[in-house]
Chains A and B, each alone.
Chain A
Amino acid sequence: MSNPVPSELTERILLHLESAEQADSLRLAEQFGIEHQKIVGAVKSIQAHGERLLDVESVTHKSLTLTEEGQAVAQSGSHEANVYAAVPEQGIGQAELLAAGGGNAKVGFSKAMSQGWLWLDKSVQPPLVRRKVATIVDQVREQLLQLAKLSDKDLADYKKRKLLQELSTKSLRISKGPEFSTTLTKLETDLTMEMLASGQWQQLKFKAYNFDALGATPTRGQLHPLLKVRTEFRQIFLEMGFSEMATNNYVEASFWNFDALFQPQQHPARDAHDTFFIKQPALCGPLPNDYVQRVSTVHSVGGYGSLGYGYKWQLAEAQKNLLRTHTTAVSARNLFQLANRAYGFKPAKYFSIDKVFRNETLDATHLAEFHQVEGVIAQAGLTLADLIGTLHEFFRKLGISQLRFKPTYNPYTEPSMEIYCYHGGLAKWIEVGNSGIFRPELVRPMGLPPDVNVLGWGLSLERPTMVKYGINNIRDLVGPKVDLKMVEDGPICRLDRD
């Protein structure tokens, strides 16, 4: 910010102009005994009160001055005149002359020779420099003393000889404008109700706007970026005709989380190292009896074309309460309901997006709780090709068009496919999810018809969000350490655009 211009100075300039009609800022500075910059500032300040108060024109002044060498010539004669003066009547040896004449003697000698003032008498040895004319006129000196009369040619010549230099200075030529006044009115910053009511706005002068400054930040609340992505995923599923499952049950029985999904009771995922088990309430209540029996059988001795796992299945293990490790537990409940509908099976597409919990080692990308996105389709005769086609459509809506699939092992799907997408920014394939056809050992005990296949896929909500927003530490996104500035400044979520 510049220092405010003292109002006395603006007033003084205006008063000066009233009588003088016109002024030059440089001259004013001299006259007022004030720095030129301050005069310029005061003029600008006057202009800010009204464009038409003053007519201001920027002018460039050129001035000629003698260089140090030029001043020496003006004072004590040109080099050539000095050399001429140094030649006595009887002549002088050239070397002696040059030695006596100092630094500029050589230039002076050659000029004096070309002017025809001197000649070289070679009839004697060594040759002597003699005067050729009796008197000379030192025109250079005279011209330097009267710069104003110089011809352009001489001017250029002297500049070249570094006797003269030209300086340019800028100043403002100020004169009265059409709305000249010696008093300045206060400028209005904004249009107000009072001005409108009184009609004053017609007379008032308004301060010019600075359009390069940012506007005032709107006061508002913001939605959380991860939950904005959740909304977008919900929207995509709804667009694809998937119905939302009720996932508001974090505490789940091991039975639904594992056993119903044909995950054997000795599976490492059921280890306390991976799963949060509940101390209170520790066990679930009654489970659907017939179904539990069928699950027990398929685990221990098989059935529906399966050998089973050949181990002793225990109800007590299935009754242990836990925090669900995947939303597939909810999918299992929904498929069971679908199989046991009063009016019989009908094809269905389900989705859910909600929290799951893992008792895992935590790091920059893993928390003990995260959101799982899951899609499930149940219909007679579904194929792996249908799953691949559905995943292509789903990921296309996320703005991902290049997909490929890797064989993998999941306890409850067969075939199983890891989903990889090509990330242009990272220039590599990254794993984005898991998918497969639910095993018959899972689907058939529920009571779904034999020809019904169930396709499923899942991914985390956090990972694509972190990739999309370039967040490296999950704690910057989820939990109390979230950066609210990031939340407040975040863009709307448009997954299909980059």
Chain B
Amino acid sequence: MPTIGVKRDLLFDALGKKYTDDEFQELCFAFGLELDEVTTEKQMLTKEQGDVAAAADASEEIIYRIDIPANRYDLLCMEGLVTGLRVFQGKVKPPKFEFVEPAQRQVLKITPSTAQIRPFAVAAVLRNVTFTQESYNSFIDLQDKLHQNICRKRTLVAIGTHDLDTIKGPFSYEALAPDQIKFVPLNQTQELNGIQLMDFYATHAQLKQYLPIIRDSPVYPVIYDSNRVVLSLPPIINGDHSKISLKTKNVFIECTATDLTKAKVVLDTIVCLFSEHCAKKFTVEPCDVIQTDGTIISYPELAVREERVSVKRANAYIGINEPANKLADMLTRMYLEAEVDAKDGDSLNVKIPPTRHDVIHACDIYEDIAIAFGYNNIKKSLPAFMQIAKQFPLNKLTEQLREQVAQAGFTEALTFTLCSRDDIALKLNKDIEALPAVHIGNPKTLEFQVVRTTLLPGLLKTVVANRKMPLPLKLFEISDVVLTAEHTEVGARNERRLCAVNCNKSAGFEVVHGLLDRVMQLLSVPWKTGGADSGYYLQATEDPSYFPGRCANVMYNETVIGKIGVLHPSVLQAFDLTTPCSAVEFTIEPFV
């Protein structure tokens, strides 16, 4: 969820009302925002960077940090937030955005080479903009927030904004070999080619993360003006030549993308939020973008979509009963202008503005009605049907056995499912390659390399961490391990195991053996002696995790269901244990 920081006093001026922190929090809560933190630039510098020296000069103006829902791009800056809240409070109507046709449209031509790397581009112009320091900062911040969120860190969309008076169309979007592209990057003085640029920014705190998006491509995307001035090298950096400043009057906006839908949303969002600073408010100048096949598409789209919503269905979805005109008012407060359909009283005609690209289905409209009505004003009800509930049999058995094993004197542990390769292999004298383990592709630390194939390491770690407890320590866990399994949908399956460990001055095999006997007794499984047909028994075996001659397979109906034995001293050592342990581990799934 993105968070934006806005200056409180400016926000209240724009909202036309002063609030206490609590009052503003309540307003946010009702609208679906969250006042995350009340802070100052000074506090943020001190807290985030520990930079007391830099903080000394920083402003002490109060800043509200506000969490914005991830799909509401239109609220990601002061301008959009203020409009959204004022419309929600019914103080203003949602603005209408209009095109202003210039004598000659700006043109951006996409060349076919871009298909290799970043095939889409869209563009727009904002005319006669007046920037203040605040709105300029907000403009930069908005681009940053959009880059971080909908643009997926510039992979899907990259935004470039330029001072139109420093460049001359028509513009050309191309993809060229890195060494053929030469320009002075934003805020630099030295000309670099594409290869040098990658080196130059390799250690840059913010920009280095974007380099891999294109670095290894044979061609880099680039936008030129008619004089071959580089506007930008998306998604890395703009040229210094066309940079915008407080004095900029006319802004050329281009977005290049791998996802055209998102590029259109981003362009609409920027022009909608910042056309408020144009001399003629809420007006936008369209651009012609020439596609590789020669067709011309006009951008931005600024489309207002009309949806028809049934009043009956909207009420029924939420569980309220409000007249059509009230629902229309509520939607208008949510930035979705709505009117009751004149012909049938049961329909609303809802206008979805270009700021609300998050509305893609009637259910999004229903939600806005519910928010405007107030979630906490909805009269609660209960679903009217009955069902005879069923437990999942494996979980039911688990619950019953947990209780019984605890009653037998063993204390329950709850250990991690993820662990290191060493935990399940090396430390247990096993070969990782021979284990049916599920391996994780992107572990951040050693602790998340594999999914456990045995419960034993977790219990041994619990024993070690609790050495201060008086002996004997008798622990158990009934939980899942995961084993690779061909012929299953995902190639792996869980197995529910019972594992118990006895740790004492002597290994005490008979203690875990006794627990096994008790569990089998509880499961009505007989001890198989002589020529009995079924039951369980122990079959001597050797296992590198266990002491020689002190290990057996737990057999049930002639199948190995687990192991029991005295742990090998080298295993104890690997887990930093100085006391002998005996252990039993077996699957309980055959007993469901």
Contact = CB atoms under 8 A, between A and B. Distances in A.
A141 interface: no
Nearest to B414: A224
Contacts of A219: 409
A250 B417 contact: yes
B317 A453 contact: yes
Given A266-B259, A278-B441, A407 B406 contact: no
Contacts of A222: 406, 411-412
A174 B358 CA distance: 97
Interface string A358-396: 010000000111000000010101111110111011000
Nearest to A248: B494
A389 B389 contact: no
A464 to B, nearest CB: 16
Nearest to A272: B442
A389 B382 contact: yes
Interface string B402-432: 1101111111111111100000000000000
B155 to A, nearest CB: 8
B380 interface: yes
A393 B406 CA distance: 32
Interface size class of A (residues with CB under 8 A): 35 or more
A397 interface: no
Contacts of A495: none
A339 interface: no
Contact of B371 (A276, A407, A487): A407
A249 interface: yes
Contact of B440 (A227, A244, A277, A302): A277
A441 B363 CA distance: 10
A271 to B, nearest CB: 8
Contact of A309 (B149, B261, B402): B261
Nearest to B67: A408
A116 interface: no
Given A305-B361, A357-B417, A414-B367, A310 B380 contact: no
A223 B439 contact: no
B473 interface: yes
A368 B418 contact: yes
Interface in B460-474: 461-462, 464-466, 469, 473-474
A248 B496 contact: yes
A281 B70 contact: no
Q: Which of A234, A305, A367, A479 gathers most chain B CB within 10 Å?
A: A479
Contacts of A226: 414
Q: Which of A231, A242, A386 gathers most chain B CB within 10 Å?
A: A386
A111 B364 CA distance: 110
Contact of B383 (A302, A357, A377, A417): A377
Interface string A243-255: 1111111111100
B406 A484 contact: no
A302 B360 CA distance: 9
A465 to B, nearest CB: 11
Contacts of A309: 261, 360
Nearest to A416: B367
A308 interface: yes
Given A248-B494, A481-B465, A407 B375 contact: yes
A390 B316 CA distance: 17
A244 B395 contact: yes
Nearest to A392: B380
B449 to A, nearest CB: 10
B461 to A, nearest CB: 3
B491 A276 contact: no
B319 A386 contact: yes
Q: Which of A392, A405, A415 gathers most chain B CB within 10 Å?
A: A415
Q: Which of B149, B376, B382, B447 gathers most chain A CB within 10 Å?
A: B382
Nearest to B392: A244
Contact of A385 (B379, B464, B469, B484): B379
A220 B480 contact: no
A251 B482 contact: yes
B350 interface: no
Contact of B389 (A220, A231, A242, A440): A242
Nearest to B492: A251
A306 interface: yes
Given A250-B482, A390-B382, A439-B363, A404 B376 contact: yes
A250 B451 contact: yes
A406 B34 contact: yes
B378 interface: yes
A222 B476 CA distance: 10
Contacts of A224: 412-414
Given A280-B484, A407-B371, A480-B465, A357 B378 contact: no
9 contacts: A223-B406, A276-B443, A279-B439, A280-B438, A287-B489, A307-B361, A479-B415, A480-B464, A484-B411
Interface of B: 1, 29-32, 34, 69-72, 149, 152, 155-156, 259-262, 316-320, 358, 360-364, 366-367, 370-371, 375-376, 378-383, 385-392, 394-395, 399, 402-403, 405-418, 438-444, 447-448, 451, 458, 461-462, 464-466, 469, 473-476, 480, 482, 484, 488-494, 496
Given A241-B389, A244-B391, 18 more contacts: A221-B410, A222-B411, A234-B399, A240-B389, A241-B386, A244-B395, A246-B392, A278-B439, A279-B440, A285-B488, A382-B383, A384-B378, A390-B382, A406-B375, A407-B371, A416-B367, A478-B414, A480-B416
8 closest A-B pairs by CB: A385-B319, A407-B32, A383-B319, A281-B491, A480-B461, A310-B261, A389-B380, A409-B69
